[in-house]
Amino acid sequence: MNRLFSLLGLTFLFSSCSTYYVSKLNSPDLNKNDETGVFVFENDSVQVTYNFFGENAPVTIDVYNKLKEPLYIDWQRSALIVGDQATSYVGDNLVIKGRSLSTGSSYRTFDDWRTSLSEGAFAGTATVPQSLTFIPPHSKIKQTKLKLANLFYENIADSSYRSVDLATIDGAMRKIKVRNYTQENTPLTLRSYLTMYVRDDKTEKTKRMVFEQNFYVNQVSKLGISPANLLSFKSKRGDTFFNKKTKGRGVALVTAAVAIGTLGYVANERNETARSID
């Protein structure tokens, strides 16, 4: 039985193989809502908010049109710049699945009119042209355009973190590793470049507006439990995102082997017990 518990302990050890990196963002250009963590830009024409909450920092952009005329966002001429690498906000893939139904010619029998029908399934992927977004006067849109795939946290030395205690949702305290940054030594910078314009229907002339906002990571926390277990993570702040790093296939194979060995040991122990009873 002691051997069984040892094997189960090994299984647990090898299966706990995910590390989470929780990052916080700051901006030298934008105001940040203290309660929600959402970044806000505002002038006489528009209000733009940025929310990065979630896995791999999904960039969710809200744009409110304050004008009395329609506003257009030109995503083709807009981009997210990570470091010095620009990625266009345009180019979403749409997975298409469904069933087709077509009606053929009608003909009459002695009883009634009959119509021929044909049915079939289809599937595929298409690129949806979303280069322009139309915003009517005094209304807003909300779109999540990109996710961040940059593995910047892998370059942070483990010795540079400091240990702090954070409360979990069940009231316990867990030690996690934290490192703070300034704009000068941050491991990651982001820059959002948005192009918008208004169009005069009478003259058909357009007036272009360009907005550029900067962000940088000012804190990284490293932990061995899901951030969903942290009390501070429950508010889903817009300045917070996380990345998950899972160890390779080898660990999974070892875990599977240990689990199979454990099951084999349990079966063998049961057989030995049965023999002793007989």
Per-residue pLDDT of the chain (278 residues; tens, 9 = 90+): 555 444 444 444 444 589 999 999 999 999 999 999 999 999 999 999 999 999 999 999 999 999 999 999 999 999 999 999 999 998 544 333 344 344 444 445 444 555 444 444 434 443 444 689 999 999 999 999 888 877 899 889 999 999 999 999 998 999 999 999 999 999 999 999 999 999 877 777 889 999 999 999 999 999 999 999 998 899 999 999 999 998 764 444 443 443 334 334 344 444 444 444 45
Q: What are phi and psi of 90, to 5 degrees?
A: -100, 155
The whole-model pTM stands at 0.71
What gap in Å lies between CA 45 and CA 24, rounded to an integer? 29
pLDDT of residue 199: 85
pLDDT of residue 156: 94
pLDDT of residue 151: 83
Structure tokens at 94: 């749409």
pLDDT of residue 7: 46
pLDDT of residue 205: 84
Q: Where are the domains of the chain?
A: 1-17+248-278, 19-90+137-246
